[in-house]
A and B are shown apart, each in its own frame.
Chain A
């Protein structure tokens, strides 16, 4: 009997009677990270990394949340549960479960490069590895974070020279914090959309050392945004909210910007290929380092990635989940300020 079953509510461990990242309300949920397609409302109790607890409180409201540290072990009905850094966003974790000497690891979402905020991804040896595949095609190859940050800064400086504001579209939890980190080296004038502001405040209150930012408010004069950087979630670029920054230049930070058509479709002036997911080589490396004899591939290019693994001697199968295959471009639901 497999340690984890793929059910219509989510990944279920019958031996421990708990779910991992369920998409329907369950009794006991272990949560890999705070993005809305992995952390859903309605379960009776949640277990996650301590850094994820305040994020869940922000997004799901009050509830029964239990935090744990990376490397800490908790036994649930005799099943050993532990978390390891996934490098995706603050608090994001791989979930390791062990029972009768068999080890399964669920990657959640992950990236290999250490972004300086989320903790460095740690390979975990296991028998069965369940991996994401958001960017599971060989066309997805990321440049080093330092190079992309440099590109973003140069673009901001050029906009300042042209007397324009720099509006950057980035997912409010995760990407936005990286962008703010990147631009803080060239400006102190950083404004954020309300959705980013809420996340930023929550993380700060939880003790994370983050750059100081200002919230975009209705009563701030338009002139204040001249030469400033504004960080806003996806969706803001096509709302009237953005008009106040005119004249501005618009950039989108996402792994999807790797393909020209996506960048052009967004009508942005620039697309920075900055992702919180592993690229093709990263996925392959992660899979190999687990030493897993069986791999399940979830959301993304699961058909292609699992077929490739299979052809290269790693038995793999694709799994249908409700995890968004387009999370980086997901629309924020928070009201614009």
Chain B
């Protein structure tokens, strides 16, 4: 556990990719096979199911160290992370325990605990807190239990480290660690062995991701070498048919097949050994609906019939990765595309829609087309080099996303809350309001967009102007005005303002404006009318 805690410490504190890579490699060289498998699992989002609620953890910890709950909460608000708060509050055990337990011992214990009584759970937690001799060890222990473990390691970095340690190609590693495998039963050998032929048939390919285009498109060269597409606002996914079964994977590497029963009827029409790459989007007659509608559906375990009718989900397909059971990612896009067009035409299913290619002769023409994105329910354009292979992860050069400028609105900050992680202890999470007559109506929360210096200034303002002394939220004088940017707007019954924004963030601090000059609820409604219907 100590080694794993050290790894997490190093990954957390250094910002240098090379040092992260070195830390990962060193860990993997030294760790035993069981620990290796679990670290790969944790770093790819395969965590044991949470078995103890945070409320219980909090009360056990407070009881154990004899702390009033309000003081525990104050500590928590300052630290910004429950796992870390507990790790800091439990005293270090001075008596050096003989038995140093491994990472997999604790994870396997968590799995067993699922069936244990509350008393047994409590006893295990208290004993573990006591025997884990340092803050970093208790921290990772709590983190694994609670599930919310953001490590700051990209999939690519993990793959790179594993490739080095296992002497396999990065692309091979990427494929092996994707898909459906259970860290509790698989061995490191089984996971990584190149001759492991009984590959899981549900396995997706690592997604190829585009960088944002930040220059003029004319710098990309001749327009004739590029393919333009709309950039859809949905969930990136792969649709797989192998051995007469269908699998749907989201970009977060979650198997989401059951969430989209619409795709079941595509199954008999698809030939076997096919992997499609595209966007999961709610759409009626081929026209996308606002993303917010998909969000209300995605969280549900069982989707009611009414919702299936009102928010039917389509698959906007734009690439073909496997055909007749053969990996064709190395073929140029042009060839993959013509195969794909043929395939989709043959299938002719209303839920499987080919994402159209945008014809253009000059970059000026394409720039004009891009301005129409919102009318087409798109976020902008994708530019893909016709000769490009389908690569692994986020790469520069052949694929670019070229988004349209966001919508903006001026709003005043009314509440502030302390952030977590890198922003712990600082007021960084803000709620914003627009005017409605002489009232202020909250309509959006935003967490990002300010520089560290600006955050420090806002933080100082909040501390000086807060009304409450205890608890996580501070009401502040409505004085600071910000321009918020967002990607879309939709009607919402859950919000007081009646609207929900897509990806709201702070565009800039309008120090030149007073709270009297902000936008109104009426302005928001007219935006909803224009863009959200």
Chain A residues packing against B (C-beta within 8 Å): 137-139, 141, 256, 258-265, 267-271, 301, 303-304, 307-308, 311
**Cβ–Cβ < 8 Å partners of B84 in chain A:** 259-260
Task: Take A261-B420, A265-B452 as given contacts and tell me if A138 and B75 are in contact as well, using a CB distance cutoff of 8 Å.
Answer: yes
Task: Please measure, in the bound complex, the distance between the C-alpha atom of A139 and the C-alpha atom of B67, giving whole angstroms.
Answer: 11
Instruction: Give every chain A residue within 8 A of B420 (Cβ-Cβ).
Output: 261
Contacts A/B (CB < 8 Å), 6 sampled: A259-B80, A260-B12, A267-B15, A270-B13, A301-B74, A303-B470
* Cβ-defined contact, B78 with A265, below 8 A: no
Please report the C-alpha to C-alpha distance between residue A258 and residue B80 in the assembled complex, in whole angstroms.
13
- Which B residues are in CB contact (< 8 Å) with A270? 13
Contact of B74 with A269 in the complex, beta carbons under 8 Å: no
Question: B74 and A304: CB pair below 8 A?
Answer: yes
Known contacts A138-B75, A139-B88, A311-B68; 14 additional CB pairs below 8 A are A137-B74, A137-B75, A139-B85, A139-B89, A259-B78, A259-B84, A261-B80, A261-B420, A264-B12, A264-B13, A269-B13, A269-B19, A271-B13, A304-B71
The answer to whether B14 has its CB under 8 Å from any CB of chain A is yes
B423 touches A261 (CB 8 A): yes
Residues from chain B with a CB closer than 8 A to the CB of A311 are: 68
CA–CA, A138 and B74, complex, Å: 10
Say if the beta carbon of B397 comes within 8 Å of chain A.
no
Question: How far apart sit A308 and B66, CA to CA, in the bound complex (Å)?
Answer: 12
Contacts of B12 in A (CB 8 A): 260, 264
Considering the complex, give the chain A residue whose CB is closest to the CB of B463. A325
Q: Tell me, in angstroms, the Cα distance from A138 to B85 when the chains sit together.
A: 10
Knowing A259-B78, A261-B422, A264-B421, the reply to whether A138 touches B71 (Cβ < 8 A) is yes
Give the chain A neighbours of B421 by CB distance below 8 A.
260-261, 264
Contact B423 A265 (CB under 8 A): yes
Complex Cα distance A261/B78, Å?
10
Cβ of B470 and Cβ of A260 under 8 Å apart? no
For A304, the chain B residues whose CB sits under 8 A away are: 71, 74, 470
Cβ of B262 < 8 Å from any Cβ of A? no
CB of B271 within 8 Å of the partner chain? no
Asked whether, in the complex, the Cβ of A261 is within 8 Å of the Cβ of B469, the reply is: no
Chain B residues in 8 Å Cβ range of A269: 13-14, 19
A303–B71 Cα gap in the complex (Å)? 11
Q: Which 10 A-B pairs have the closest CB atoms?
A: A261-B424, A139-B88, A303-B469, A264-B422, A139-B75, A304-B74, A137-B75, A265-B422, A267-B15, A261-B422
B91's closest neighbor in chain A, by CB?
Answer: A141
A263:B13 contact, CB within 8 angstroms: yes
Q: Which residues of B contact A (CB under 8 A)?
A: 12-15, 19, 65, 67-68, 70-71, 74-75, 78-81, 84-85, 88-89, 91, 139, 419-426, 452, 469-470
| Assembled-state Cα–Cα distance A267/B71 (Å) | 29
In the complex, A303→B467 CA distance in Å?
13
What are the residues of chain B within 8 A of A262 when measuring CB–CB?
A: 424-425
Nearest A residue to B423, CB-CB: A261
Whole-angstrom distance from the CB of A105 to the nearest CB of chain B? 25
With A261-B80, A270-B13 known as contacts, the answer to whether A308 contacts B425 (CB < 8 A) is no
User: Do B469 and A259 have beta carbons less than 8 Å apart?
Assistant: no
Q: Which residues of B contact A268 (CB under 8 A)?
A: 13
Tell me the complex Cα distance, A304–B84, Å: 19
- Complex formed: what's the CA distance from A260 to B452 in Å? 17
- With both chains docked as a complex, state the minimum distance between the C-beta of B21 and any C-beta of chain A, in angstroms: 15
Q: How many Å lie between the Cα of A274 and that of B267 in the bound state? A: 63
Q: Which chain A residues lie closer than 8 Å to B469 at the CB level? A: 303
The residue of chain A having its C-beta at the shortest distance from the C-beta of B14 within the complex is A269
Flag if A308 contacts B71 (CB, 8 Å): yes
Pair A259/B79 contact, Cβ less than 8 Å? yes
B210 to chain A, nearest CB (A): 28
A261 touches B81 (CB 8 A): yes
Minimum CB distance partner of B15 in chain A: A267
Q: How far is the CA of A262 from the CA of B89 in the complex (A)?
A: 17
Whether A138 pairs with B67 at a CB distance below 8 angstroms is yes
Please judge, given known A-B contacts A259-B84, A261-B421, A270-B13, whether A139 and B78 are in contact too, CB under 8 Å. Answer: yes
By CB atoms of chain B within 10 A, which of A138, A261, A271 has the most?
A261
User: How far apart are A15's CB and chain B's nearest CB, in angstroms?
Assistant: 32
B117 CB to nearest A CB, Å? 30
Q: Which residues of the partner chain A approach B424 to less than 8 Å between Cβ atoms?
A: 259-262
Q: How far is the CA of A256 from the CA of B420 in the complex (A)?
A: 15
The answer to whether B67 and A261 have CB atoms under 8 Å apart is no
Which residues of chain A are near B75, meaning CB under 8 Å?
A: 137-139
Q: Enumerate chain B residues within 8 angstroms of A137, measured Cβ to Cβ.
A: 71, 74-75, 78
Q: Give Cα A263–Cα B75 distance, bound, in whole angstroms.
A: 17
**Which single residue of chain B is at the shortest CB-CB distance from A238?**
B452
Residue on B nearest A271 in the bound complex, by CB: B13
Q: How far is the CA of A258 from the CA of B85 in the complex (A)?
A: 11
Q: How far is the CA of A265 from the CA of B424 in the complex (A)?
A: 9
Chain B residues whose C-beta falls within 8 Å of the C-beta of A267 in the assembled complex: 15
Chain B residues within 8 Å of A303, by CB: 469-470
- B74 neighbours in A (Cβ, 8 Å): 137, 301, 304
List the A side residues contacting B419 at CB < 8 Å: 261
Do B91 and A139 have beta carbons less than 8 Å apart? no
A239 nearest CB across to chain B (Å):
13
Q: Smallest distance from the beta carbon of A123 to chain B beta carbons, Å?
A: 23
- A261/B470 in contact, CB under 8 A: no
Known A-B contacts A137-B75, A264-B421, A308-B68; A258 and B15 likewise in contact (beta carbons under 8 Å): no
A257's closest neighbor in chain B, by CB? B13
The answer to whether A139 and B68 touch across the interface, beta carbons within 8 angstroms, is: no
**Assembled-state Cα–Cα distance A265/B425 (Å):** 11
- Min CB distance A237 to B, Å, is 12
In whole angstroms, what is the CA distance A259 to B85 when docked?
Answer: 9
Q: How distant is A248 from chain B, measured CB to nearest CB, in Å?
A: 12
Most central of B65, B71, B139 by chain A CB within 10 Å? B71
